[in-house]
Structure 1
Amino acid sequence: MDRRDFIKNTLLSTTFATLGSFSVFSDLSAPNSSSQRFTLNYAPHFGMFEKHAGKDPIKQLQFMADTGFKALEDNSMRDRSIKEQKHIAKEMKRLNMDMGVFVAHSIGWEEPNLTTDDKDAHKKFLEEIRASVDVAKRVNATWMTVVPGRLHPRLELPYQTANVIEVLKKAAKILEPHGLVMVLEPLNPLRDHPGQFLTKTSQAYEICKAVGSPSCKILYDVYHQQITEGNLIPNIEYAWDEIAYIQVGDNPGRNEPTTGEINYRNLFKFLAKKGYEGIIGMEHGNSMAGKKGEQAVIEAYRACDPG
């Protein structure tokens, strides 16, 4: 699943048809699922359960909460209207749900942006970070995703790394007074994102150490790192002090746990033993269509949850 299509599709699937209803509908409960909350803080995204809940994001949030999920992840939150953002935040507060990441800026999928020494590219990024502070406050978010963008074809990697560190230091100074955190996401270059600068855990760790700010941490996406480097638990352990957010998806396929090669039962058990209380973003698709596929997602997380 291409990340650009993922973001586009989740936004389109949750366009607000109505903004008025806050009542809880009795038919939104997940069939054959316990309403007990999960032990770990898994965060579905809009569209994941719309066959059960319908297209209205408010009803989808109600369904998530009724099913036991305690958080929401929405990459496209920055692109939603202020009215939509406030409406979602109000309902999440009522349901006692946490807000996960949203994408904080325009990612350089085709052209270098943070890897370059182009001051205009850096200026645009910093302006978007400032705007994302307002988004975060509206939706009660702490974390926002940052992807440094495409490799520069005419600069050696150390120069690109220096450029990225320089602009991230400036971004951190914007975020620190608000207690907000940008999380750097390494992406796999073999299947989904060839040509991207940031690909490995160790690379993100080095950058975070160089920036030296509590507002610059790592988003560890298990799906991407299984493809890029494997050795999942040892790499998470080594980079633990810089990891602030986790996303999941099985490989191959980028669907729910138990559909691929990753042992999510052991991984979630490891995270629980480490005392991880952060959000685990469900940035993946459903392996099957329709209500059956949505139910399979819920059951997969029940089966892997260490509680």
Structure 2
Amino acid sequence: MKRRTFIGTSAAASVGVLAYKNGNAMPNAESDTYKLKNNINHSVCRWCYKDIPMEDFLKNLNELGIKAMDLTGPEDWPLMKKYGIHSSMCWGAGFGIEKGWNDLSLHEELIADYTQMIPKVAEAGFTNLICFSGNRNGMDDAIGLKNCAEGLKKIMPVAEKHGVVVQMELLNSKVNHPDYMCDKSDWGVELCKQIGSENFKLLYDIYHMQIMEGDIIRNIQDFNQYFGHYHTGGNPGRHEIDETQELFYPAIMQAILKTGYKGYVAQEFVPSWDDQIAALKQGVTICDV
């Protein structure tokens, strides 16, 4: 299942992981070999595990020591709270990835939608709410940036009042989201500067930005003050973040820690293993530097 559909409707050994695939043994969460340092606050994106019933998945998160889940809405929050799982990136406002803040004709509805949703996020005890630029549809990037800033500035007083951070996700337009406008760090950083509020940040998706621009660690070092949240994913393929792909996540996590970041890092790879929870356990352990 592709993420756009859901929203619209190193190496393991190098970090001490006895990884397994398709049935080979791996230590359980209670064993000494699986003990999280928790220097990184771990989260996971729900859509990657859509085939696992929500309550079963929440029990899995408790067993793994994962404290939060991304891309959830009000319909999910009561059950999440039952299991002590925080909603680290909320959704439920807007029109999805392809239709967003760069389109002036949508501003009236977007402003009304986010104005209603921001207090709900705050009332539930959460702080992050996702948003999207939308596709270009022939629009110049400079015009789109101006349009996004114009609209988003109008909801900043509400976000500031309720202590909610609205975060625009950086996505690749090369493989997964053709024509998406917010597809480069420098474009997003300029948008942050034009909005000029600590309640607007970028969701820095490492997988997507590896595809679009690379230089992941340097960009984290240079632009971390504009990054409010992080997503993982293996490239190529958006699968496990182990030796099967080109990114070295322990070094990336160390770079994030050195910035003083205290938020969540959410696993957003699509498991290719038969045992999806084992794949998630491996990913969290790799990132637990």
TM normalised by structure 1 equals 0.79
Offset, 1:135: 3.3
Aligned-partner SS, 2:236: coil
Distance 1:98 1:85 in 2: 8
Offset, 1:8: 6.7
- Is 1:143 the counterpart of 2:137? The answer is no
The percentage of aligned residue pairs carrying the same residue is 25
**Do the aligned partners of residues 274 and 266 (structure 1) sit closer, same or farther apart at CA in structure 2, a change above 3 Å counting?**
same
8 Å Cα contact 2:42/2:67 also seen in 1:
yes
- Is 1:106 the counterpart of 2:106? The answer is no
- Give the alignment of 1:1-307 within 5 angstroms: 2-7=2-7, 30=29, 34=34, 36=36, 38-46=38-46, 55=53, 57-73=54-70, 75-78=71-74, 80=75, 84-92=76-84, 97-107=85-95, 109-110=97-98, 112-118=99-105, 121-153=106-138, 155-258=139-242, 259-289=244-274, 291=275, 293-306=276-289
Offset, 1:99: 2.1
TM normalised by structure 2 equals 0.83
8 Å Cα contact 2:130/2:166 also seen in 1:
yes
For structure 2, the residue ranges without an aligned partner over 5 or more in a row are 10-27
Amino acid at match of 1:89: K
For structure 1, the residue ranges without an aligned partner over 5 or more in a row are 10-28
Offset, 1:140: 2.0
Amino acid at match of 2:266: G
Q: Which residue of 1 aligns with 2:23?
A: none
8 Å Cα contact 2:102/2:145 also seen in 1:
yes
Aligned-partner SS, 2:167: strand
Aligned-partner SS, 2:130: strand
CA RMSD of aligned residues (A): 2.5
Offset, 1:210: 0.6
Distance 1:35 1:207 in 2: 40
Amino acid at match of 2:191: I
8 Å Cα contact 2:184/2:213 also seen in 1:
yes
More relative contact order, 1 or 2 (CA 8 Å, 6+ apart): 2
8 Å Cα contact 1:256/1:287 also seen in 2:
yes
**Do the aligned partners of residues 65 and 124 (structure 1) sit closer, same or farther apart at CA in structure 2, a change above 3 Å counting?**
same
